[in-house]
Chain A
Amino acid sequence: MKHIISPLDFSVKELDDVLCLAEDIIADPKKYANVCNGKKLATLFYEPSTRTRLSFEAAMLNLGGNILGFSSADSSSAAKGESVADTIRVISSYADICAMRHPKEGAPMVAAKYSRIPVINAGDGGHNHPTQTLTDLLTIKNLKGRLNNLTVGLCGDLKFGRTVHSLINALVRYENIKFVLISPEELKIPAYIREEVLDANHVEYKEVSVLEDVMPELDLLYMTRVQKERFFNEEDYVRLKDLFILDMAKMEYAKDDMLVLHPLPRVNEISTEVDNDPRAVYFKQAEYGVYVRMALIMTLLEVEKPC
């Protein structure tokens, strides 16, 4: 039995298998409509996250399975003080697989230790969010046709943005990836990512603070939101939140086949005028999130691929 707690829990080969399965689902979703008949997914959401929860539930329903669960800690036995370990021991009797979102970092890892069913980390605090990374990789692979030989621009909050850290960790495993890190000084990528991931893997990167200057070199631009909840100081948030806004004027500098990705939700970091540009694929990316979760559920449940 396998759990997915970190984006690196899959080898490159295993990841490739999941992405290939997801692409097959994209090509013919109806073929997969009943492969999880009689199976149940428990969504254990200790903090609200409508998008991720609905994406998981849609994925299981698309596979013909059923769903159960809770959407906040208040409506679970955690409110009575039950430990994660005890909760998952019980849920293991009720469902075949579970997706857990928890505000505390490492909670899904604790659950995996005591679980009798596969556990998928659906986000633990500011730590890991592996299914977002899988979604990003599927979007890139399906729309660019490759996961190697890419110059990837990461823009916005590179300090607290867990999606960015996970994506870097995942992409350094592919050949000839270059990163352009675009952020204000206060939101630069943490030193440990630079040293332990980028430098350790001999990956080429540069840090810049002006988006327009680097737009022409990018194959991908991954935008992120400056998250208010990460700041202790309101003034800092207000000062930094509007520094990078992608608009059509900036898109003029980009290659014709550059893709704009965003984990969503966005606030104002991508102007709505960009939405109609064919290079803006962030809503497609959200759609792919369902397909990759379908592939992940099938993989972890060891469901046979239909002919």
Chain B
Amino acid sequence: MLNISGLGNGIVIDHIKAGKAMDIYHYLKLDRATCPVAIIMNAKSSKMGQKDIIKIDGPITVDINMLAVLDDQLTINIIENGKIVIKKNPTLPLEVTNIIKCKNPRCITSIEQELPHVFKLTNKDKRMYRCVYCEEAFKR
């Protein structure tokens, strides 16, 4: 079980796919955070076998739906006064810009660096995003 007793007011991003915590860390620009940030990697999980967790002990605004694009299984716990006040499962946004990058070497974005990387949700059940330019599926 996740121990959040050390957290006053902040956020716990739980159920991150094992090994993916640093992707979330960089997306949230936590390297610039001034509050304490803990990264737990490969923690035991009854549901997932192994998981990563990020604890942020301080005020931070997180668009959890955008995080879901990076990892569709994660959950967010908002902590106030040491207790979970909100537990959220993210909803996938229909379109995202510059959250994920197209890795198709044949895509126009591979040679024109200034183009925004835009993806559309094309299959909600499979949580599938496709690049709007080349339609390559984004693989998490």
Contact = CB atoms under 8 A, between A and B. Distances in A.
A105 B107 contact: yes
B122 A106 contact: no
Nearest to A5: B133
Contacts of A84: 108, 112
A286 to B, nearest CB: 26
Interface residues of B, number: 19
Nearest to A102: B108
A110 B131 CA distance: 13
A83 B104 CA distance: 19
Contacts of B133: 105-107, 109-110
Main secondary structure of the interface of B (DSSP, over half): loop
Given A109-B133, A192-B137, A104 B115 contact: no
Contacts of A107: 108, 133
Interface string B111-137: 110110000001100000001111111
A125 interface: yes
Interface in B31-90: none
A105 B104 contact: yes
A196 interface: yes
Contact of A106 (B107, B114, B123, B137): B107
Contacts of B109: 106
A103 B106 contact: yes
B107 A83 contact: no
B97 interface: no
A110 B118 CA distance: 12
B110 interface: yes
Given A83-B112, A83-B114, A104-B111, A109 B104 contact: no
Given A109-B132, A110-B133, A127-B134, A104 B114 contact: no
B109 to A, nearest CB: 7
Given A105-B133, A127-B135, A192-B137, A110 B123 contact: no
A80 B35 CA distance: 47
A278 interface: no
B122 A196 contact: yes
B112 to A, nearest CB: 5
A198 B133 CA distance: 22
B102 to A, nearest CB: 9
Interface in A108-167: 109-110, 124-127
20 contacts: A83-B114, A85-B112, A104-B106, A104-B110, A105-B106, A105-B107, A105-B108, A105-B136, A106-B107, A106-B108, A106-B134, A107-B108, A109-B132, A109-B133, A110-B115, A110-B133, A126-B106, A127-B106, A196-B122, A196-B123
Given A105-B106, A106-B108, 18 more contacts: A83-B114, A84-B112, A102-B108, A104-B110, A105-B134, A105-B135, A106-B134, A107-B133, A109-B108, A109-B132, A110-B108, A110-B112, A110-B115, A110-B133, A124-B108, A127-B134, A127-B135, A192-B137
Interface of A: 83-85, 102-107, 109-110, 124-127, 192, 196
